[in-house]
C-alpha cells in the first residue's frame, strides 16, 4: 500500500533537522570552548576568568542536554 507525503511535511523535516543540527553543534561547541578556556585560565592563575568560563561551559551543557532531551522526547512521542 502506497502512501503519499506532502511537500510541506518534507520541508518541515528538512528545516527542523537543520535547525537542530545547528543548535546542538553550537551548544556543544560552547561547552568545549568554556572548558578549554577555563583550564587555560586556571593554569595562568586567573581564577575569576576560569570561573566565568566554567560557568559558560555549565550553562552551555545544560542547554545542550535540554536540546537532546527535547529531541528524544519529540521522537518518542506518539501523536
What's the mean pLDDT in 70-78?
A: 88
C-alpha distances in Å from residue 27, one per residue of 20, 49, 57, 74: 11, 20, 9, 19
**Domain extents in the chain:** 23-76
Higher pLDDT, 31 or 1: 31
State the pTM of this model: 0.82
Residues 7-58 pLDDT 10s: 888 898 899 899 999 999 999 999 999 999 999 999 999 999 999 999 999 9
**64: number of Cβ within 10 Å:** 19
With CA atoms as reference, report the closest residue to 53 among 23, 28, 29, 30. Answer: 30
37, 53 Cβ separation under 8 angstroms: yes
Q: What is the pLDDT of residue 79?
A: 64
pLDDT score at 7:
83
**What pLDDT is recorded for position 1?**
63
User: With contact defined as beta carbons under 8 Å apart, do 24 and 72 qualify?
Assistant: no
Amino acid at each position: 500500500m502506497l502512501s503519499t507525503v506532502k511537500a510541506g511535511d518534507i520541508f518541515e523535516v528538512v528545516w527542523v533537522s537543520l535547525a537542530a543540527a545547528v543548535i546542538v553543534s553550537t551548544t556543544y561547541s560552547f561547552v568545549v570552548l568554556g572548558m578549554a578556556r577555563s583550564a587555560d585560565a586556571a593554569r595562568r592563575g586567573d581564577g575569576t576568568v576560569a570561573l566565568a568560563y566554567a560557568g559558560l561551559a555549565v550553562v552551555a551543557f545544560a542547554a545542550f542536554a535540554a536540546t537532546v532531551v527535547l529531541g528524544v522526547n519529540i521522537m518518542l512521542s506518539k501523536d
